[in-house]
Structure 1
Amino acid sequence: MPLDSTLQTIFAQAAASGAPDLTELPPEAARAVYRQILAAADVPPADVGASNHTIGGPGGALPLRIYRPHREAAEGIVVYYHGGGFVLGDVDGYDNVCRQLCDDSGATVVSVDYRLAPEHPFPAAIDDAWAALEWVAANASELASRHARIAVAGDSAGALLATVMCILARDRGGPAIAFQGLVYPPAAAGSRVDFPSRTLYAEGPTLTARMIDYFNGFYFGTEGAPKNALAAPLFADDLSTLPPALLQVATHDPLRDEALAYGQCLLEAGNDAIVVEYHGLAHGFISMGGAVRAARLAQQQLAQALRAALRTSAN
């Protein structure tokens, strides 16, 4: 399956420009480069309202950015966790993605600026993600004009956080989550399982094996990843009674096979799950809707699934 022709052009231009290897940079410098990468193929800002809020988190102040649709009354709330390997990414870098998700879905979107490694290793991101979810649940009636149901969504590391929130909410008796939107989750994060796609796409074209090791080293530290559902939900003892899921995967992604395996595990555990593999796309496509048509279609599919789930669950 060839790589999307537009992506081929983008990656060729990036190589010609001498774009640095993120693994050769310290985290702070890598974060600045990552913001530039996200902006290069993003969609134009959608016309939605946006405001910054700060709540009390387990590590102190926890910033959130809240998006509200202008074209219609908000139906439901989507808590969005950004990608970046638990080391990169922030609400600014994912601003356009969340604006577009808000506009397409008609839901209020709450983007969570969780703490990053190596300054804040595992499980700081999970603790912040949970604090944000609890705050949204406590304030749901103020965040959505109608149908104050909650969904979670995220890409890459953020997708892992989203699905872990569903597992924790089940085990802790709430908050109720109506749906989970998972975009190329690292479902076996930190593990050494030899998935074929990790070898096939070890050199990218976007995420590489070196980058995975770079992220895991900072996030999990010298002790390595713990063998539990919070680190690698693919190996959870129990994946039953979880919210319905849409799981989106790219063919040209070292995480493809573990994400597909996670989708299969959700189905085998009796959950409703739709797994969609985007042929010709690479890891990171959710931020490429401004340049790649199939990536824009993926954004729309995620938004429509969230819209349908939030409204259906309210009936």
Structure 2
Amino acid sequence: MLDHQLDAIVKHVQAAGLPDLCDLPPVACRDLYRQILAAADRPAADVQVEDRLMPSRPDVPALKLRVYTPRHGGPHGVIVYFHGGGYVLGDLDGYDSVCRQLCLDSAAVVVSVDYRLAPEHPFPAAVDDAWEALRWVGEHAKQLGADPARLAVAGDSAGAILATVTTMLARDAKWPTIKFQALLYPPAAGGHAGDYPSRERHAAGPTLTLRTMDYFGAHYFGAVAQAPDFRGAPLMAPSLAGLPPALVMLAGHDPLRDEALAYGHALQAAGTPTTIVEYDGLAHGFISMAGGIGAARLAQLQFAQALRQGLEPR
């Protein structure tokens, strides 16, 4: 059963007659998405905030980062956060409330990454940016008031894929060392077929639809709308061994529920200590709904607490 607060919000949105995101061109889609996120936000948490530019690479503009720092204590652990939005939507402002709250609740520095979006920058641009940002944070953690030995990655939806894929890249490069990965409803199959009944069960949403998933996939991966390799579909990874402990959080009313669960199970099967948590009454995107849904706020707290524990000094 859908959470009663979420159900009321969904009915309100339906009554307002807002268009489906996938019926809009990307620029208009981004504007609407930003409005939706702002309407569900919590009040801004009191943390220090600083915008930074990561040095540019050849033919790539400087990458924007937003750094959130607790006002007290330190040195802190550091979390590199990758926002959701199907690789097409989302930005630093849209996820500002989420990252402020994560910083406060986890007592860690949070670095939010403004990676390039599709269709202007198709696959693998987002992965390339995420990997560059993670390495930059690993090199500059001390300058951010953080302990480079206490580094985690986190993200929601497409951002969860960027988080877990960068842990694989870090494993293979043997640096930086990631202590924990926190993944919210990752689209782990990258558009590929599989035994995922939730895709049909929740094809019409309530917050993410199959049509919108195809819209995102076509813009990022191309006309086939399927990831060509593990960088967009971690269930295709040759090996999930040797990855850091993980939290995988699911939404019961989400077309991605089953493939996110499959990824959690695959991590466990590979020997990665993995906690899987499902919020039965919530839908895709719940991390951004804590302003109006009590269960979403509880999920925020659980997410942050797992990161806090995962970053504790050993």
Question: How would you bin the TM-score normalised by the shorter chain?
Answer: over 0.9
| Runs of 4 or more above 4 Å deviation | 145-148
User: Would the aligned equivalents of 2:190 and 2:227 in 1 still touch at CA under 8 Å?
Assistant: no
Contact 1:75 1:148 in 2 (8 A): no
- Of residues 200-209 and 71-80 in structure 1, the stretch that sits farther from structure 2 once superposed is 71-80
Aligned 8 A contact 1:101 1:109 in 2: yes
Asked whether the equivalents of residues 104 and 304 of structure 1 are also in contact (C-alpha less than 8 Å), the reply is yes
Tell me the CA shift for residue 223 of structure 1. Answer: 5.2
> 1:110 and 1:145, CA in 2 relative to 1: closer, same or farther beyond 3 A?
closer
Q: Give the corresponding residue for 2:213.
A: 212
The equivalent residue for 1:117 is 118
**How many percent identity over aligned positions?**
59
Q: Which residue of 1 aligns with 2:244?
A: 243
Letter in 2 for 1:246: L
- The count of residues paired between Structure 1 and Structure 2 equals 312
Cα 1:121/1:155, change in 2 over 3 Å: same
Cα distance between partner residues in 2 of 1:5 and 1:57: 46
- What amino acid is aligned across from residue 272 of structure 1 in structure 2? P
Work out the CA distance in 1 between the residues paired with 2:183 and 2:250. 9
Q: Is the 8 A contact 2:75 2:145 kept in 1?
A: yes
2:289 is the counterpart of 1:288: yes
Which residue of 1 is the match for residue 42 of structure 2? Answer: 43
Q: TM-score, normalised by structure 2?
A: 0.97
Per-residue CA shift, 1:79-118, capped at 9, x if unaligned?
0000000000001000000000000000000000000000
1:42 shift after superposition: 1.3
Are 1:159 and 2:124 an aligned pair? no
Please say if residues 141 and 148 of structure 1, whose CA atoms lie closer than 8 Å, have aligned partners that are also in contact.
no
TM-score, length basis structure 1 = 0.96
1:192-234 per-residue CA deviation (whole Å, 9 max, x = no partner) reads 3351000000000000000000000000013543442112101
Partner of 1:20: 19
Q: Which amino acid in 2 is paired with 1:43?
A: R
Aligned equivalents of 2:160, 2:291: Cα separation in 1: 21
Write the mapping of 1:1-315 to structure 2, written as runs, cut at 5 A. 2-58=1-57, 59-146=60-147, 148-222=149-223, 224-311=225-312, 314-315=313-314
Moved more, 222-231 or 111-120: 222-231
Counterpart CA distance in 2 for 1:275 and 1:88 is 26
Query: Quick one: distance in 2 between partners of 1:259 and 1:130?
Result: 22
Residue segments in structure 2 that go unaligned for 5+ positions in a row:
none
Asked if the contact 1:76/1:146 (under 8 Å) is kept, the reply is yes
Distance 1:217 1:194, change over 3 A: farther
Contact 2:154 2:181 in 1 (8 A): yes
